[in-house]
Amino acid sequence: MFHYVEENLTPEELAHERDLYTPLTDSVRQLVDATIRTEVDDAEIHAVRREVDALVARLRAKQIPSSFGARIADDGTVRTHGNAVIGMRNPIAIPLDLQTDEDSRVWADFHAGAAYEGPPGLVHGGVSALLLDQVLGTAAAAAGSPGMTGTLSMRYRRGTPLGDLHIEAKLDRTEGIKSYVKGHIADADGVTVEAEGVFILPRWARELIAAEKAHAPKQFE
């Protein structure tokens, strides 16, 4: 179930992948937004749908049989391009361009558009949870204590408006195999959602790291 594929890709090959797939993903992301917001007439909706179906068939002419999974390069870089929050090839990903400070604080400025709506004009509370889970998990990994989510708790202080937002998280402390992480989402007026998470390194990952130190993934996304 936890299948990490090992691939030996050069930096040039990794850069080529980025140049190839990022524009397509961005374009499909625009199509998602336009699908929600369009007011063109019925005939045009039907015509566009037929064109989309044709493009799906072209992309599916050759495809991996299941999900993207995780692929590990020889230098330990983990490519999780299908990841629902940060996957380079996933149009659902908002996306978050995560930065890591010297003190292992992980953060991103990002824009939440029409596809992430819950209450009118506001980010869906579950979308905030989705983003916080990823950023808290990445913060645990950035501090050297990677793990999978054990518990995650959000406190919604007020509605988070769609638009330009900020998210950040930082490891608070570790206890054995548990990493305690805190984070939040904020708009220009301050914090809107606070989160606390406990991340746990599962046995299979501990065994993997013990057995193959050189190939241990740097983080679990």
Closest CB 136 distance from a second copy, rounded Å:
9
Residue of 1, 188, 210, 214 that binds a second copy (CB under 8 A):
1
Single out the residue of 126, 118, 121 nearest to residue 154, CA to CA: 126
Q: Tokens in use for 49?
A: 């749908």
Q: Is 133 a catalytic residue?
A: yes
Residue 142 CB, shortest distance to a second copy, in Å, is 17
- Cα(197)–Cα(140) distance, integer angstroms: 9
Is residue 144 within the footprint of a second copy (CB under 8 A)?
no
**Residue (123 or 143) nearer to a second copy, CB:** 123
From 90, 94, 83, select the one nearest 165 (Cα to Cα). 94
Q: Which is nearer to a second copy, 132 or 171 (CB)?
A: 132
> Considering beta carbons, is residue 168 or 221 the nearer one to a second copy?
221
Among residues 41, 101, 133, 189, the one annotated as catalytic is 133
Rule CB under 8 A: which of 159-188 touch a second copy?
159, 161-162
Site string for a second copy, 35-64 (x = CB under 8 A): xxxxxx-x-xxxxxx-xxx-xx-xxxxxxx
Neighbours of 28 (CB within 10 A): 17
**How many residues line the site for a second copy (CB under 8 A)?**
91
Buried/exposed code over 202-213 (b: 16+ C-beta within 10 A; e: otherwise): eeebeebeeeee
85 touches a second copy (CB under 8 A): yes
Closer to a second copy by Cβ: residue 20 or 103: 20
Which of 96, 106, 122, 143 touches a second copy by CB under 8 A?
Answer: 122
Rg (CA), the chain: 19
Distance CA 164, CA 194 (A): 17
CB contact set of 141 (below 8 Å; sequence gap of 6+): 147, 218, 219, 220
Choose, by CB under 8 A, the member of 11, 23, 76, 144 that binds a second copy: 23
Comparing C-alpha atoms, which of 105, 78, 184, 197 is closest to residue 149?
A: 197
Backbone angles phi, psi at 71, to 5 degrees: -125, 130
Q: Taking CB under 8 A as the rule, does residue 203 contact a second copy?
A: no
Q: Which residues are catalytic?
A: 133
